[in-house]
Chains A and B, each alone.
Chain A
Amino acid sequence: MNRRANLIAIGVFIAALIGVFVLSPHNRQRLQSAFLGIVSPFLKKGSEVDSRWKSYRAGLKKLDELEAENQRLKVDNDQLRATNQALRGVEAENIRIKSALGYQGGSPFTLVPAHVIGRSPSNWWSTIVIDKGSVDLVQEEMAVVTPDGLVGKVVNLSEHSSSVLLLSDENCKVAGTVEGTKEQGIVRVEVRGQRTSNSIQPTMTLNFLTRFAPLRAGQKVFTSGAGTIYPPGILIGQIVEFKSRELDGQAIIEPSVDIAALSDVFVITGMKGATKSL
Protein backbone atom coordinates (compact mmCIF):
# COMPACT_ATOMS: atom_id res chain seq x y z
CA MET A 1 0.00 0.00 0.00
CA ASN A 2 2.79 2.35 1.08
CA ARG A 3 4.84 1.42 -1.97
CA ARG A 4 1.86 2.04 -4.22
CA ALA A 5 1.22 5.46 -2.64
CA ASN A 6 4.86 6.37 -3.20
CA LEU A 7 4.68 5.36 -6.85
CA ILE A 8 1.55 7.47 -7.33
CA ALA A 9 3.28 10.42 -5.60
CA ILE A 10 6.32 10.06 -7.88
CA GLY A 11 4.03 9.86 -10.94
CA VAL A 12 2.17 13.03 -9.95
CA PHE A 13 5.47 14.78 -9.21
CA ILE A 14 6.92 13.88 -12.62
CA ALA A 15 3.73 15.02 -14.37
CA ALA A 16 3.81 18.35 -12.51
CA LEU A 17 7.52 18.75 -13.29
CA ILE A 18 6.93 18.16 -16.99
CA GLY A 19 4.11 20.72 -16.78
CA VAL A 20 6.60 23.30 -15.49
CA PHE A 21 9.28 22.40 -18.04
CA VAL A 22 6.92 22.85 -20.99
CA LEU A 23 5.52 26.20 -19.82
CA SER A 24 5.56 28.73 -22.64
CA PRO A 25 7.78 31.81 -22.05
CA HIS A 26 4.62 33.92 -21.76
CA ASN A 27 3.07 31.70 -19.07
CA ARG A 28 6.41 31.37 -17.29
CA GLN A 29 6.69 35.17 -17.20
CA ARG A 30 3.15 35.46 -15.84
CA LEU A 31 3.92 32.92 -13.13
CA GLN A 32 7.14 34.74 -12.18
CA SER A 33 5.38 38.08 -12.20
CA ALA A 34 2.55 36.76 -10.00
CA PHE A 35 4.99 35.27 -7.49
CA LEU A 36 7.10 38.44 -7.42
CA GLY A 37 3.84 40.31 -6.74
CA ILE A 38 3.13 38.01 -3.77
CA VAL A 39 6.65 38.33 -2.39
CA SER A 40 7.23 42.07 -2.84
CA PRO A 41 4.93 43.36 0.00
CA PHE A 42 6.82 41.09 2.41
CA LEU A 43 10.16 42.28 1.02
CA LYS A 44 9.07 45.92 1.40
CA LYS A 45 8.10 45.37 5.03
CA GLY A 46 11.26 43.37 5.61
CA SER A 47 13.34 46.13 4.03
CA GLU A 48 11.75 48.71 6.38
CA VAL A 49 12.46 46.54 9.43
CA ASP A 50 16.00 45.93 8.16
CA SER A 51 16.59 49.69 7.73
CA ARG A 52 15.25 50.39 11.21
CA TRP A 53 17.45 47.66 12.68
CA LYS A 54 20.52 49.06 10.89
CA SER A 55 19.83 52.61 12.06
CA TYR A 56 19.24 51.27 15.60
CA ARG A 57 22.62 49.54 15.47
CA ALA A 58 24.26 52.66 14.07
CA GLY A 59 22.65 54.58 16.94
CA LEU A 60 24.17 52.14 19.41
CA LYS A 61 27.59 52.81 17.92
CA LYS A 62 27.07 56.54 18.36
CA LEU A 63 26.09 55.98 21.97
CA ASP A 64 29.30 54.06 22.52
CA GLU A 65 31.26 56.91 21.02
CA LEU A 66 29.41 59.41 23.19
CA GLU A 67 30.11 57.34 26.26
CA ALA A 68 33.81 57.47 25.50
CA GLU A 69 33.57 61.21 25.10
CA ASN A 70 31.68 61.51 28.38
CA GLN A 71 34.79 60.41 30.18
CA ARG A 72 36.68 63.35 28.75
CA LEU A 73 34.14 66.15 28.54
CA LYS A 74 31.61 67.87 30.77
CA VAL A 75 27.94 66.77 30.62
CA ASP A 76 26.57 69.94 29.02
CA ASN A 77 29.29 69.83 26.40
CA ASP A 78 28.28 66.28 25.61
CA GLN A 79 24.66 67.30 25.20
CA LEU A 80 25.66 69.93 22.67
CA ARG A 81 27.77 67.39 20.80
CA ALA A 82 24.89 64.91 20.73
CA THR A 83 22.55 67.56 19.33
CA ASN A 84 25.15 68.52 16.79
CA GLN A 85 25.60 64.87 15.81
CA ALA A 86 21.86 64.40 15.34
CA LEU A 87 21.70 67.52 13.16
CA ARG A 88 24.60 66.27 11.09
CA GLY A 89 22.65 63.05 10.47
CA VAL A 90 19.66 65.07 9.26
CA GLU A 91 21.96 67.24 7.15
CA ALA A 92 23.58 64.18 5.54
CA GLU A 93 20.14 62.76 4.75
CA ASN A 94 19.13 66.16 3.35
CA ILE A 95 22.22 66.29 1.14
CA ARG A 96 21.59 62.73 -0.09
CA ILE A 97 17.96 63.47 -1.00
CA LYS A 98 18.90 66.83 -2.62
CA SER A 99 21.61 65.11 -4.63
CA ALA A 100 19.17 62.42 -5.77
CA LEU A 101 16.54 65.02 -6.68
CA GLY A 102 19.19 67.12 -8.41
CA TYR A 103 20.28 64.10 -10.41
CA GLN A 104 16.69 63.32 -11.32
CA GLY A 105 16.06 66.93 -12.36
CA GLY A 106 19.35 67.45 -14.20
CA SER A 107 19.41 64.15 -16.01
CA PRO A 108 18.52 64.02 -19.71
CA PHE A 109 16.53 60.85 -18.99
CA THR A 110 13.08 60.36 -17.57
CA LEU A 111 13.84 58.61 -14.30
CA VAL A 112 11.70 56.63 -11.89
CA PRO A 113 13.25 56.62 -8.41
CA ALA A 114 13.16 53.24 -6.67
CA HIS A 115 14.24 51.76 -3.38
CA VAL A 116 16.10 48.44 -3.13
CA ILE A 117 13.90 46.09 -1.08
CA GLY A 118 15.84 42.85 -1.40
CA ARG A 119 19.08 41.31 -2.61
CA SER A 120 19.12 37.86 -4.18
CA PRO A 121 20.31 35.24 -1.69
CA SER A 122 21.91 33.20 -4.46
CA ASN A 123 25.59 32.29 -4.46
CA TRP A 124 25.92 32.52 -8.21
CA TRP A 125 23.46 35.13 -9.50
CA SER A 126 23.53 38.83 -8.84
CA THR A 127 20.11 40.50 -8.72
CA ILE A 128 18.19 42.94 -6.54
CA VAL A 129 14.47 43.61 -6.10
CA ILE A 130 13.25 47.22 -6.32
CA ASP A 131 9.90 48.65 -5.21
CA LYS A 132 8.76 49.94 -8.60
CA GLY A 133 6.93 47.88 -11.22
CA SER A 134 4.70 48.04 -14.27
CA VAL A 135 2.24 50.52 -12.69
CA ASP A 136 5.19 52.95 -12.35
CA LEU A 137 5.86 52.59 -16.12
CA VAL A 138 8.86 50.33 -15.55
CA GLN A 139 9.37 47.75 -18.29
CA GLU A 140 11.69 44.80 -18.81
CA GLU A 141 15.13 45.59 -20.26
CA MET A 142 15.14 49.16 -18.95
CA ALA A 143 18.47 50.45 -17.68
CA VAL A 144 18.89 51.10 -13.94
CA VAL A 145 21.32 53.76 -12.69
CA THR A 146 22.37 55.76 -9.63
CA PRO A 147 23.93 59.25 -9.63
CA ASP A 148 27.30 57.41 -9.62
CA GLY A 149 26.66 55.38 -12.76
CA LEU A 150 25.20 52.24 -14.28
CA VAL A 151 23.70 49.54 -12.03
CA GLY A 152 22.10 47.02 -14.43
CA LYS A 153 18.81 46.34 -16.17
CA VAL A 154 15.28 45.23 -15.30
CA VAL A 155 14.71 41.53 -15.97
CA ASN A 156 11.49 40.55 -14.18
CA LEU A 157 8.46 42.62 -13.50
CA SER A 158 5.35 42.64 -11.35
CA GLU A 159 2.88 45.47 -10.79
CA HIS A 160 4.68 47.03 -7.85
CA SER A 161 8.20 45.56 -7.97
CA SER A 162 10.92 44.43 -10.35
CA SER A 163 14.07 42.32 -10.39
CA VAL A 164 17.22 44.02 -11.61
CA LEU A 165 20.14 42.08 -13.09
CA LEU A 166 23.23 43.80 -11.72
CA LEU A 167 26.32 44.78 -13.66
CA SER A 168 28.18 42.36 -11.39
CA ASP A 169 26.37 39.37 -12.92
CA GLU A 170 28.27 37.58 -15.67
CA ASN A 171 25.17 37.57 -17.86
CA CYS A 172 25.06 41.37 -17.85
CA LYS A 173 27.14 42.65 -20.77
CA VAL A 174 27.28 46.29 -21.79
CA ALA A 175 28.73 48.00 -24.85
CA GLY A 176 31.21 50.58 -23.54
CA THR A 177 33.41 53.33 -24.88
CA VAL A 178 36.44 55.09 -23.38
CA GLU A 179 36.29 58.86 -22.90
CA GLY A 180 38.38 60.91 -25.30
CA THR A 181 39.00 57.96 -27.64
CA LYS A 182 37.20 55.96 -30.30
CA GLU A 183 37.87 52.73 -28.43
CA GLN A 184 34.76 50.59 -27.96
CA GLY A 185 34.27 47.16 -26.47
CA ILE A 186 32.13 44.95 -24.31
CA VAL A 187 32.12 45.46 -20.55
CA ARG A 188 31.49 42.44 -18.38
CA VAL A 189 32.42 41.30 -14.92
CA GLU A 190 35.83 39.68 -14.62
CA VAL A 191 35.30 36.04 -13.72
CA ARG A 192 38.78 34.71 -12.84
CA GLY A 193 37.33 31.21 -12.49
CA GLN A 194 34.86 32.21 -9.80
CA ARG A 195 31.24 33.10 -10.25
CA THR A 196 30.14 36.45 -8.91
CA SER A 197 27.57 37.12 -6.21
CA ASN A 198 25.84 40.02 -4.51
CA SER A 199 28.29 40.06 -1.64
CA ILE A 200 31.30 40.93 -3.79
CA GLN A 201 32.26 44.27 -5.33
CA PRO A 202 33.34 43.08 -8.77
CA THR A 203 36.12 44.04 -11.09
CA MET A 204 34.99 44.58 -14.68
CA THR A 205 36.80 44.20 -17.98
CA LEU A 206 36.39 46.11 -21.23
CA ASN A 207 37.23 43.62 -23.96
CA PHE A 208 37.89 43.63 -27.70
CA LEU A 209 39.81 46.93 -27.70
CA THR A 210 42.55 47.77 -30.19
CA ARG A 211 45.66 45.80 -29.22
CA PHE A 212 47.87 48.84 -28.59
CA ALA A 213 45.16 51.34 -27.67
CA PRO A 214 46.65 54.41 -25.94
CA LEU A 215 44.62 53.97 -22.77
CA ARG A 216 45.74 54.93 -19.29
CA ALA A 217 44.55 54.41 -15.75
CA GLY A 218 41.90 56.88 -14.62
CA GLN A 219 40.13 57.24 -17.97
CA LYS A 220 36.39 56.91 -17.67
CA VAL A 221 34.29 54.28 -19.45
CA PHE A 222 30.74 55.14 -20.55
CA THR A 223 27.96 53.18 -22.22
CA SER A 224 28.35 53.52 -25.99
CA GLY A 225 24.65 53.23 -26.79
CA ALA A 226 25.14 50.24 -29.09
CA GLY A 227 22.14 47.97 -28.66
CA THR A 228 18.74 49.04 -27.45
CA ILE A 229 18.96 48.71 -23.66
CA TYR A 230 21.53 51.19 -22.36
CA PRO A 231 21.43 54.79 -23.58
CA PRO A 232 24.85 56.30 -24.41
CA GLY A 233 26.84 58.37 -21.94
CA ILE A 234 26.12 56.54 -18.67
CA LEU A 235 29.25 56.16 -16.55
CA ILE A 236 30.26 52.51 -16.00
CA GLY A 237 33.60 52.96 -14.23
CA GLN A 238 37.20 53.96 -14.71
CA ILE A 239 40.20 52.16 -16.11
CA VAL A 240 42.60 50.71 -13.58
CA GLU A 241 44.93 48.90 -15.99
CA PHE A 242 45.31 48.18 -19.70
CA LYS A 243 46.60 44.84 -21.01
CA SER A 244 47.72 44.20 -24.56
CA ARG A 245 46.80 40.61 -25.45
CA GLU A 246 47.61 38.39 -28.42
CA LEU A 247 44.77 39.62 -30.63
CA ASP A 248 43.19 42.54 -28.80
CA GLY A 249 43.45 44.82 -25.80
CA GLN A 250 41.68 44.52 -22.48
CA ALA A 251 41.09 47.20 -19.86
CA ILE A 252 40.42 46.38 -16.23
CA ILE A 253 37.71 48.65 -14.88
CA GLU A 254 36.70 49.61 -11.40
CA PRO A 255 32.90 50.10 -11.39
CA SER A 256 31.75 53.56 -10.39
CA VAL A 257 28.80 52.23 -8.39
CA ASP A 258 29.25 50.39 -5.11
CA ILE A 259 27.21 47.33 -6.07
CA ALA A 260 27.37 45.83 -2.58
CA ALA A 261 25.83 48.92 -0.94
CA LEU A 262 22.93 49.89 -3.20
CA SER A 263 19.92 51.42 -1.49
CA ASP A 264 18.31 53.90 -3.91
CA VAL A 265 18.35 53.61 -7.70
CA PHE A 266 16.65 55.14 -10.75
CA VAL A 267 15.05 53.31 -13.66
CA ILE A 268 15.49 55.05 -17.01
CA THR A 269 12.03 54.95 -18.56
CA GLY A 270 12.75 57.25 -21.49
CA MET A 271 14.41 60.42 -22.72
CA LYS A 272 13.12 63.82 -21.63
CA GLY A 273 11.11 65.38 -24.43
CA ALA A 274 10.82 62.06 -26.26
CA THR A 275 7.29 60.81 -26.81
CA LYS A 276 8.19 57.17 -26.81
CA SER A 277 9.93 55.35 -23.96
CA LEU A 278 13.24 53.65 -24.62
Chain B
Amino acid sequence: MLEVIARGTGEFKPPDPDGFRAHVRDHKERRLVSKLVSERDAVARFVSDGDYLAYDLNIAYRGPGSLFREVIRQKKKDLWVMAKFTWTDVSLLIAGGCVSKVDVGWMEFGPILNRAVKDGSVKLMEWSNGALAYRLLAGSLGVPYLPMRYLGGTDTFEQSGAILTEDPYTHKPVCAVPALNPDVALIHAHQADMYGNTRIFGAGVSPVEMAMASKRVIVSAEEIIDPLEIRKQPQRTTIPYYFVDAVVHAPFGSYPGSTQGLYAADLEQWLAFAAAGAMGKTDEYLENWVYSVSSHQEMLEKRVGEAKLQALRDADTLKEGYYD
Protein backbone atom coordinates (compact mmCIF):
# COMPACT_ATOMS: atom_id res chain seq x y z
CA MET B 1 0.00 0.00 0.00
CA LEU B 2 1.39 3.39 -0.95
CA GLU B 3 1.81 5.91 1.85
CA VAL B 4 0.15 9.17 0.82
CA ILE B 5 2.18 12.16 2.05
CA ALA B 6 -0.10 14.83 0.60
CA ARG B 7 -3.23 14.88 -1.50
CA GLY B 8 -4.61 17.61 -3.76
CA THR B 9 -8.20 18.69 -3.27
CA GLY B 10 -9.21 19.01 -6.94
CA GLU B 11 -12.11 16.99 -8.31
CA PHE B 12 -11.37 14.29 -10.86
CA LYS B 13 -13.14 11.28 -12.26
CA PRO B 14 -11.79 8.22 -10.42
CA PRO B 15 -9.67 6.12 -12.77
CA ASP B 16 -11.36 2.90 -13.87
CA PRO B 17 -9.11 0.87 -16.19
CA ASP B 18 -11.33 -2.21 -15.93
CA GLY B 19 -14.41 -0.17 -16.77
CA PHE B 20 -12.55 1.20 -19.77
CA ARG B 21 -11.65 -2.32 -20.92
CA ALA B 22 -15.30 -3.33 -20.63
CA HIS B 23 -16.29 -0.29 -22.68
CA VAL B 24 -13.78 -1.27 -25.36
CA ARG B 25 -15.04 -4.86 -25.35
CA ASP B 26 -18.66 -3.83 -25.68
CA HIS B 27 -18.59 -0.72 -27.84
CA LYS B 28 -15.47 -0.30 -29.98
CA GLU B 29 -15.82 -1.40 -33.60
CA ARG B 30 -13.21 -3.98 -34.66
CA ARG B 31 -14.34 -4.42 -38.24
CA LEU B 32 -13.07 -2.45 -41.19
CA VAL B 33 -16.22 -0.46 -41.82
CA SER B 34 -16.60 3.03 -43.13
CA LYS B 35 -16.91 5.56 -40.32
CA LEU B 36 -17.27 8.53 -42.64
CA VAL B 37 -20.02 10.79 -41.35
CA SER B 38 -20.97 14.46 -41.44
CA GLU B 39 -19.78 16.67 -38.58
CA ARG B 40 -23.43 16.99 -37.54
CA ASP B 41 -23.90 13.22 -37.25
CA ALA B 42 -20.53 12.69 -35.57
CA VAL B 43 -21.23 15.23 -32.82
CA ALA B 44 -24.88 14.20 -32.42
CA ARG B 45 -23.92 10.56 -32.01
CA PHE B 46 -20.69 10.73 -30.06
CA VAL B 47 -20.85 13.87 -27.89
CA SER B 48 -23.37 13.85 -25.04
CA ASP B 49 -24.29 16.43 -22.40
CA GLY B 50 -22.14 15.90 -19.32
CA ASP B 51 -19.26 14.30 -21.23
CA TYR B 52 -15.60 14.78 -20.44
CA LEU B 53 -14.38 16.36 -23.70
CA ALA B 54 -10.72 16.35 -24.74
CA TYR B 55 -9.15 17.74 -27.89
CA ASP B 56 -5.66 17.97 -29.29
CA LEU B 57 -4.05 21.39 -29.81
CA ASN B 58 -6.22 24.47 -30.12
CA ILE B 59 -8.09 27.02 -32.20
CA ALA B 60 -4.80 28.62 -33.33
CA TYR B 61 -2.99 25.50 -34.48
CA ARG B 62 -4.35 22.23 -35.93
CA GLY B 63 -7.23 22.09 -33.47
CA PRO B 64 -10.67 20.71 -34.35
CA GLY B 65 -12.18 24.13 -35.17
CA SER B 66 -15.09 22.79 -37.22
CA LEU B 67 -15.99 20.31 -34.47
CA PHE B 68 -15.86 23.00 -31.74
CA ARG B 69 -18.41 25.00 -33.72
CA GLU B 70 -20.63 21.95 -34.26
CA VAL B 71 -20.59 21.17 -30.52
CA ILE B 72 -21.77 24.76 -29.91
CA ARG B 73 -24.31 24.60 -32.76
CA GLN B 74 -25.86 21.50 -31.19
CA LYS B 75 -25.93 23.29 -27.80
CA LYS B 76 -24.16 20.52 -25.93
CA LYS B 77 -24.24 21.20 -22.18
CA ASP B 78 -22.35 20.54 -18.99
CA LEU B 79 -19.11 19.42 -20.64
CA TRP B 80 -15.97 18.90 -18.58
CA VAL B 81 -13.23 20.22 -20.86
CA MET B 82 -9.53 19.45 -20.86
CA ALA B 83 -7.66 22.74 -21.34
CA LYS B 84 -4.28 21.29 -22.23
CA PHE B 85 -2.20 23.66 -24.40
CA THR B 86 -5.42 25.34 -25.49
CA TRP B 87 -6.13 28.89 -26.62
CA THR B 88 -9.35 30.89 -26.92
CA ASP B 89 -11.25 27.66 -27.72
CA VAL B 90 -12.15 27.16 -24.03
CA SER B 91 -13.69 30.66 -23.97
CA LEU B 92 -15.49 29.89 -27.23
CA LEU B 93 -17.04 26.74 -25.75
CA ILE B 94 -17.92 28.63 -22.54
CA ALA B 95 -19.52 31.42 -24.59
CA GLY B 96 -21.59 28.75 -26.33
CA GLY B 97 -22.90 27.60 -22.95
CA CYS B 98 -21.34 24.15 -23.32
CA VAL B 99 -18.98 23.99 -20.33
CA SER B 100 -19.36 23.43 -16.60
CA LYS B 101 -15.86 22.27 -15.62
CA VAL B 102 -12.35 22.83 -16.94
CA ASP B 103 -9.13 20.99 -16.15
CA VAL B 104 -6.53 23.73 -16.57
CA GLY B 105 -3.18 23.28 -18.17
CA TRP B 106 -3.16 26.48 -20.17
CA MET B 107 -5.91 28.47 -21.79
CA GLU B 108 -6.08 32.00 -23.17
CA PHE B 109 -7.89 34.06 -20.56
CA GLY B 110 -10.23 36.97 -21.10
CA PRO B 111 -13.54 38.50 -20.05
CA ILE B 112 -15.64 35.43 -20.93
CA LEU B 113 -13.54 33.16 -18.73
CA ASN B 114 -13.24 35.73 -15.93
CA ARG B 115 -17.01 36.16 -15.78
CA ALA B 116 -17.69 32.41 -15.83
CA VAL B 117 -15.24 31.80 -12.96
CA LYS B 118 -16.59 34.69 -10.89
CA ASP B 119 -20.27 33.79 -11.26
CA GLY B 120 -19.50 30.14 -10.55
CA SER B 121 -20.97 28.81 -13.78
CA VAL B 122 -17.65 27.17 -14.63
CA LYS B 123 -15.51 25.33 -12.10
CA LEU B 124 -11.76 25.03 -12.63
CA MET B 125 -9.39 22.29 -11.56
CA GLU B 126 -5.64 23.00 -11.73
CA TRP B 127 -3.11 20.78 -13.44
CA SER B 128 -0.47 21.66 -16.05
CA ASN B 129 -0.18 20.90 -19.75
CA GLY B 130 2.27 18.10 -19.06
CA ALA B 131 0.32 16.70 -16.10
CA LEU B 132 -2.80 16.40 -18.26
CA ALA B 133 -0.74 14.71 -20.98
CA TYR B 134 0.62 12.29 -18.33
CA ARG B 135 -2.94 11.57 -17.20
CA LEU B 136 -3.82 10.70 -20.80
CA LEU B 137 -0.69 8.58 -21.05
CA ALA B 138 -1.81 6.63 -17.96
CA GLY B 139 -5.25 6.32 -19.54
CA SER B 140 -3.68 5.03 -22.75
CA LEU B 141 -1.59 2.44 -20.90
CA GLY B 142 -4.58 0.93 -19.13
CA VAL B 143 -3.11 1.69 -15.69
CA PRO B 144 -4.79 3.67 -12.87
CA TYR B 145 -2.06 6.26 -12.29
CA LEU B 146 1.49 7.26 -13.17
CA PRO B 147 4.32 8.68 -11.07
CA MET B 148 5.97 11.85 -12.33
CA ARG B 149 8.60 14.36 -11.26
CA TYR B 150 6.61 17.59 -10.98
CA LEU B 151 3.49 19.34 -9.59
CA GLY B 152 4.59 18.70 -5.98
CA GLY B 153 5.06 21.59 -3.57
CA THR B 154 2.85 24.06 -5.44
CA ASP B 155 -0.65 25.48 -5.08
CA THR B 156 -1.31 23.86 -8.46
CA PHE B 157 -0.81 20.50 -6.71
CA GLU B 158 -3.21 21.54 -3.92
CA GLN B 159 -5.97 22.31 -6.47
CA SER B 160 -5.33 19.16 -8.52
CA GLY B 161 -6.21 15.54 -7.90
CA ALA B 162 -2.54 14.52 -7.69
CA ILE B 163 -0.97 12.81 -4.69
CA LEU B 164 2.51 12.90 -3.21
CA THR B 165 3.54 9.46 -2.08
CA GLU B 166 6.57 7.46 -1.03
CA ASP B 167 7.83 5.59 -4.04
CA PRO B 168 7.94 1.88 -3.13
CA TYR B 169 11.23 1.31 -5.03
CA THR B 170 13.42 4.35 -4.26
CA HIS B 171 11.61 5.25 -1.00
CA LYS B 172 11.76 8.90 -2.09
CA PRO B 173 8.72 11.18 -2.39
CA VAL B 174 7.14 11.13 -5.83
CA CYS B 175 4.06 12.74 -7.31
CA ALA B 176 1.38 10.61 -8.97
CA VAL B 177 -1.53 11.58 -11.18
CA PRO B 178 -4.72 9.61 -11.85
CA ALA B 179 -5.35 8.14 -15.28
CA LEU B 180 -7.76 10.09 -17.45
CA ASN B 181 -10.06 8.36 -19.92
CA PRO B 182 -12.12 11.10 -21.62
CA ASP B 183 -15.62 10.28 -22.82
CA VAL B 184 -14.88 11.83 -26.17
CA ALA B 185 -11.84 13.15 -28.04
CA LEU B 186 -11.77 15.55 -31.01
CA ILE B 187 -8.64 15.30 -33.14
CA HIS B 188 -7.89 17.17 -36.35
CA ALA B 189 -5.57 15.43 -38.81
CA HIS B 190 -4.02 15.92 -42.22
CA GLN B 191 -5.32 12.67 -43.70
CA ALA B 192 -7.54 9.74 -42.77
CA ASP B 193 -9.10 6.86 -44.63
CA MET B 194 -12.77 5.95 -44.24
CA TYR B 195 -11.96 3.35 -41.60
CA GLY B 196 -10.26 5.87 -39.32
CA ASN B 197 -6.61 5.19 -40.05
CA THR B 198 -5.19 8.63 -39.39
CA ARG B 199 -2.07 10.54 -40.40
CA ILE B 200 -0.88 13.66 -38.60
CA PHE B 201 2.20 15.40 -39.95
CA GLY B 202 4.40 17.62 -37.83
CA ALA B 203 4.81 18.12 -34.10
CA GLY B 204 1.90 18.06 -31.69
CA VAL B 205 0.77 17.57 -28.12
CA SER B 206 -0.61 14.08 -27.47
CA PRO B 207 -3.00 12.95 -30.22
CA VAL B 208 -1.95 9.30 -30.00
CA GLU B 209 -2.39 8.95 -26.24
CA MET B 210 -5.65 10.91 -26.43
CA ALA B 211 -7.06 8.63 -29.13
CA MET B 212 -6.04 5.53 -27.18
CA ALA B 213 -7.34 6.78 -23.83
CA SER B 214 -10.74 8.11 -24.95
CA LYS B 215 -13.97 6.15 -25.02
CA ARG B 216 -15.10 7.76 -28.28
CA VAL B 217 -12.88 9.42 -30.88
CA ILE B 218 -13.92 11.79 -33.65
CA VAL B 219 -11.24 12.53 -36.24
CA SER B 220 -11.69 15.42 -38.66
CA ALA B 221 -9.34 15.25 -41.62
CA GLU B 222 -8.27 17.72 -44.28
CA GLU B 223 -8.23 14.90 -46.81
CA ILE B 224 -9.82 11.45 -47.06
CA ILE B 225 -7.37 9.05 -48.67
CA ASP B 226 -7.59 5.56 -50.13
CA PRO B 227 -7.05 2.78 -47.54
CA LEU B 228 -4.45 1.31 -49.91
CA GLU B 229 -2.36 4.47 -49.44
CA ILE B 230 -2.32 3.77 -45.70
CA ARG B 231 -1.12 0.18 -46.26
CA LYS B 232 1.55 1.28 -48.72
CA GLN B 233 3.16 3.52 -46.11
CA PRO B 234 2.20 2.09 -42.71
CA GLN B 235 4.96 4.00 -40.95
CA ARG B 236 3.09 7.22 -41.62
CA THR B 237 0.00 6.10 -39.68
CA THR B 238 -0.42 8.10 -36.47
CA ILE B 239 -3.59 6.40 -35.17
CA PRO B 240 -4.86 2.99 -36.39
CA TYR B 241 -8.53 2.58 -37.25
CA TYR B 242 -9.87 0.67 -34.26
CA PHE B 243 -9.38 3.60 -31.89
CA VAL B 244 -11.50 5.86 -34.10
CA ASP B 245 -15.32 6.03 -34.02
CA ALA B 246 -16.07 8.71 -36.61
CA VAL B 247 -14.22 10.29 -39.53
CA VAL B 248 -15.33 13.71 -40.75
CA HIS B 249 -14.00 15.19 -43.98
CA ALA B 250 -13.12 18.77 -43.00
CA PRO B 251 -10.97 20.84 -45.37
CA PHE B 252 -9.80 23.90 -43.43
CA GLY B 253 -11.12 22.02 -40.38
CA SER B 254 -8.73 23.87 -38.08
CA TYR B 255 -9.95 27.29 -39.25
CA PRO B 256 -9.26 29.93 -37.95
CA GLY B 257 -6.18 27.97 -36.85
CA SER B 258 -3.39 26.71 -39.07
CA THR B 259 -2.68 23.22 -40.32
CA GLN B 260 1.02 22.90 -40.98
CA GLY B 261 2.00 22.33 -44.56
CA LEU B 262 -1.47 23.41 -45.79
CA TYR B 263 -2.59 26.81 -44.56
CA ALA B 264 -1.71 29.55 -42.07
CA ALA B 265 -3.87 30.80 -39.21
CA ASP B 266 -6.40 33.56 -39.91
CA LEU B 267 -5.26 36.02 -37.29
CA GLU B 268 -7.96 38.56 -38.13
CA GLN B 269 -10.72 36.07 -37.42
CA TRP B 270 -9.08 34.97 -34.20
CA LEU B 271 -8.70 38.61 -33.08
CA ALA B 272 -12.38 39.19 -33.99
CA PHE B 273 -13.40 36.65 -31.35
CA ALA B 274 -11.16 38.29 -28.74
CA ALA B 275 -12.61 41.69 -29.66
CA ALA B 276 -16.18 40.35 -29.47
CA GLY B 277 -15.45 39.01 -25.98
CA ALA B 278 -13.97 42.33 -24.85
CA MET B 279 -16.95 44.31 -26.19
CA GLY B 280 -19.62 41.95 -24.87
CA LYS B 281 -20.60 40.99 -28.42
CA THR B 282 -19.97 37.28 -28.17
CA ASP B 283 -23.58 36.50 -29.07
CA GLU B 284 -23.18 38.36 -32.36
CA TYR B 285 -19.98 36.48 -33.05
CA LEU B 286 -21.59 33.09 -32.37
CA GLU B 287 -24.62 34.00 -34.47
CA ASN B 288 -22.43 34.97 -37.43
CA TRP B 289 -19.88 32.16 -37.28
CA VAL B 290 -21.87 29.27 -35.79
CA TYR B 291 -25.67 29.47 -35.55
CA SER B 292 -26.48 31.24 -38.84
CA VAL B 293 -24.68 28.60 -40.90
CA SER B 294 -25.67 24.96 -40.95
CA SER B 295 -22.22 23.45 -41.44
CA HIS B 296 -18.50 24.08 -41.61
CA GLN B 297 -18.69 23.99 -45.39
CA GLU B 298 -21.39 26.66 -45.43
CA MET B 299 -19.35 28.81 -43.03
CA LEU B 300 -16.31 28.57 -45.33
CA GLU B 301 -18.40 29.53 -48.37
CA LYS B 302 -20.51 32.30 -46.86
CA ARG B 303 -18.37 33.76 -44.10
CA VAL B 304 -14.78 33.19 -45.20
CA GLY B 305 -14.80 32.96 -48.99
CA GLU B 306 -12.45 31.31 -51.48
CA ALA B 307 -10.22 34.39 -51.83
CA LYS B 308 -9.43 34.34 -48.11
CA LEU B 309 -8.89 30.57 -48.10
CA GLN B 310 -6.46 30.89 -51.00
CA ALA B 311 -4.61 33.68 -49.18
CA LEU B 312 -4.24 31.41 -46.13
CA ARG B 313 -2.95 28.59 -48.35
CA ASP B 314 -0.47 30.99 -49.95
CA ALA B 315 0.68 32.23 -46.53
CA ASP B 316 1.91 28.76 -45.52
CA THR B 317 4.86 28.50 -47.85
CA LEU B 318 6.89 25.85 -46.02
CA LYS B 319 5.73 22.39 -47.12
CA GLU B 320 9.03 20.66 -46.41
CA GLY B 321 8.63 17.67 -44.12
CA TYR B 322 4.84 17.50 -44.33
CA TYR B 323 3.99 16.34 -47.84
CA ASP B 324 7.32 15.40 -49.42
The answer on A and B forming one complex is: no
